[in-house]
Amino acid sequence: MANNEQTFIMIKPDGVARGLVGEVIKRFEQKGYYLRALKMMNVPKELAEEHYVDLSSKPFYKGLVNYIVSGPVVATVWEGKGVVVTGRKLVGATNPLASEPGSIRGDFCIDVGRNVIHGSDAVESAKREIGLWFPEGLADNKPELKWVYE
């Protein structure tokens, strides 16, 4: 398993407004994952639509896009062994009422339409999303992580 696997994690507008940015970053950092990129931004509607294009036929799609563009988000890329699957565990189940306590959604939210955070669901979707949110590319001056891996 590659130590340089990447995932896209976005703190949604409710997470930013509620002051949960530090909490999210803390949880990924304390696990040992490396914060590879981070930016705070207002989301153009076209970007929100493209990010969630697979859900465009769902009844909640319009509301979902409106939610994502409603305020600033924090877009991040995290790197490390198994970060896609383990990142989803740190994030928790889509519906916060079904998310395990100890996960971010399990600890900090209630409604599926205000579930604080997004995490890529597969390595391939992570690649697509990182390309979409960071078209400028990622800095390549990563430090050596010699205390995390054997």
Per-residue burial over 108-129, b if 16 or more Cβ lie within 10 Å, else e, is: bbeebeebbbbbbbeeeebeeb
Question: Least distance from C-beta 64 to ligand RTP, angstroms?
Answer: 5
Catalytic: 118? yes
Q: Which residue number, 80 or 119, has a Cβ lying nearer to ligand RTP?
A: 119
- Annotated binding residue 60: yes
Q: Which residue number, 102 or 113, has a Cβ lying nearer to ligand RTP?
A: 113
Q: Which of 118, 120, 129, 133 is catalytic?
A: 118
Helix (H) or strand (E) holding 62: helix 61-68
Among 45, 62, 66, 113, binds ligand RTP (CB under 6 A): 113
